[in-house]
Amino acid sequence: MSRVQTTKRKTSFICFFFVVWYTTYYFMNNNIFSSEKERLTKIRLSSSLTLSSNTLSTIYNNDNPLEELNMRFCGQTTCKFLFVYDYGEQETKANLHFRSFSQLAEKLNRTMILTNVGSSQINICQNYPFDFYYDLKLLRQEFPNVIYKYEDDFYLWLKIRDEIKKKMNYKKDNEIIPPLSILHSHLRRYDITTETIYREVKPVVSLNKCLSKFEPFMNLVDPKNSKVRYTIMDIAKSDIRPRAKPEFSELLVESLTTDEEIMLVNSFVLEALFPKVMPAIPYNDYILNEAQKLKDKLSSSYIAIHWRLEQARPELLPECAQGLIKTLKRVMTEEGIENIYLATDYPLLSSKSQSDTFKDITNYHHEAIRMLNETFKINTWVSLGGLEDLRKDKNYHSEFVGPGLQGILDKLVCIDANYFLAGSFGCSRILSTFTKSIEDERKDKIRNIDSGILNTIDRWKIIL
């Protein structure tokens, strides 16, 4: 080998090592490698991939660095990911869907990416890591056979893989690493079809612009970077009913059993995908502690009201308020309860409602809430100082404009109320997954005679 060729190789190696060092330095200083620093105020969040500069050096010096990276990242020589980047609904339903896809990840033997959260949603456009809402330790206990990785970890895997690819493909005598192999699939409940159909479709740039956050290391329009296959599954409503679900879930697993490294999924299914519905993902301890503080401030007993004003008939709301006031007076007298807690989508911090879908707020809505406040002392998560430290931090401002953490707090406080009231037809949205989840939890708790829970759910009557 000539001295010129040797010098070129040495220069190439030095440049490559500098890139590795810089990557390590960058991610360590952005808390991706370190689990000792707090990434959110008073909330300990950590990345699940911990790599030091020595570890990276070991990876790159291995005879097959890509296999070494995969072994360290997902425990296998070839990583296969399931990345559901949009769960399609607000937190209560998204929580259900995440569990379904965890079951799917286990069936497919795929590492599951923990999609970001925020604004009461689970999707990649949100600002906060998965454990801003959820307890990852307890989730892993529920699904011990599933490997979970954060979005940040996935980005790091893409970046290191790209560097390995460039290095190995530069050496003509080594194995060539191909572009990323990706299946991009859209799962949707499709009510106009009588049978579930899974089919290939023409390439689309993306179903979500926020996927671009993983560029340039995952570029869906560059065939030299990523080879993408696109599919859609139109799921018949009848196929996700309880009796048909076992057969449907087998079809789902069979259809999505594939060799692609990365499975990107956009989901809007509405129902659980498997016959066994797993328990709700537990919330992060700081949320549970915050909910307990609110319950403590409500003293020994309280009535909780969930009044979702969306889909109420506005002109009926003053009469609805009268009916609620009458019901509250009766319950407070009969049960000796003095405190009231209101969970609502009515604006509490700004002029914007606490629901993305509730936009038309009228004088009728304002009048109903005014009547309630003039009759009783009404406590809310705001008046009781819920999440005060986070609300003061500008980094979380968007979380409190519209839906967000406060919905989880409301749910937890309502679940443990001594008495629970929800709106009736005309006064409220009746088909609410949020209300149903509270009712279901209370059904379990009321079996304990020491729980202090007096009912599961009552709906107050309108006074006409």
Segment 391-417 shows an average pLDDT of 92
| 36 pLDDT higher than 60 | no
pLDDT in tens, 278-323: 999 999 999 999 999 999 999 879 999 999 988 889 999 999 999 9
pLDDT at 418: 96
Q: Which amino acid is at 62?
A: N
Segment 41-52 shows an average pLDDT of 50
Domain ranges of the chain: 76-268, 285-459
Spatial neighbors of 383 by CB under 8 A, at least 6 apart, are: none
Q: Residue 453 CB: number of other CB atoms within 10 A?
A: 21
| 404 pLDDT higher than 60 | yes
pLDDT at 53: 59
pLDDT at 44: 43
Percent of the chain with pLDDT over 70: 85
Q: What's the mean pLDDT when you consider all of the chain?
A: 86
Beta bridge partners of 458: 421
The domains spanning 76-268 and 285-459 adopt the same CATH topology: yes
**82 touches 267 (CB < 8 A):** no
How would residue 19 be classed by pLDDT, with cut points 50, 70 and 90?
Answer: very low
pLDDT at 462: 87
Segment 114-127 shows an average pLDDT of 95
CATH of domain 285-459: 3.40.50
How would residue 206 be classed by pLDDT, with cut points 50, 70 and 90?
Answer: low
| 343 pLDDT higher than 80 | yes
Q: Which amino acid is at 238?
A: S
Contacts 24+ apart (CB under 8 A), 207-211: 207/86, 207/266, 208/85, 208/86, 208/123, 208/124, 208/125, 208/266, 209/125, 210/85, 210/123, 210/124, 210/125, 211/85, 211/124, 211/264
How would residue 42 be classed by pLDDT, with cut points 50, 70 and 90?
Answer: very low
**102 touches 278 (CB < 8 A):** yes
pLDDT at 52: 59
Lowest average pLDDT, out of 200-214, 327-341, 377-391, goes to 200-214
| 398 pLDDT higher than 50 | yes
pLDDT at 436: 92
Please, what CATH class does the domain formed by 76-268 belong to? alpha beta
Higher pLDDT, 204 or 1: 204
Lowest average pLDDT, out of 25-29, 218-222, 235-239, 256-260, goes to 25-29
pLDDT at 54: 65
| 30 pLDDT higher than 70 | no
- Name the token pair of 248: 């449907």
pLDDT in tens, 130-145: 999 999 999 999 999 9
Q: Residue 155 CB: number of other CB atoms within 10 A?
A: 17
**256 touches 235 (CB < 8 A):** no
pLDDT at 431: 82
| 17 pLDDT higher than 90 | no
pLDDT at 358: 73
pLDDT in tens, 410-419: 999 999 999 9
pLDDT at 23: 45
Segment 427-455 shows an average pLDDT of 90
Rounded Cα distance, 87 and 95, in Å: 9
Percent of the chain with pLDDT over 90: 67
Lowest average pLDDT, out of 18-27, 350-359, 437-446, goes to 18-27
Q: What separation in angstroms does the CA of 358 have from each of 320, 348, 428?
A: 18, 14, 12
Lowest average pLDDT, out of 55-69, 229-243, 314-328, goes to 55-69
| 264 pLDDT higher than 60 | yes
Rounded Cα distance, 353 and 362, in Å: 12
Rounded Cα distance, 235 and 226, in Å: 28
| 10 pLDDT higher than 60 | no
pLDDT in tens, 159-174: 999 999 888 877 655 5
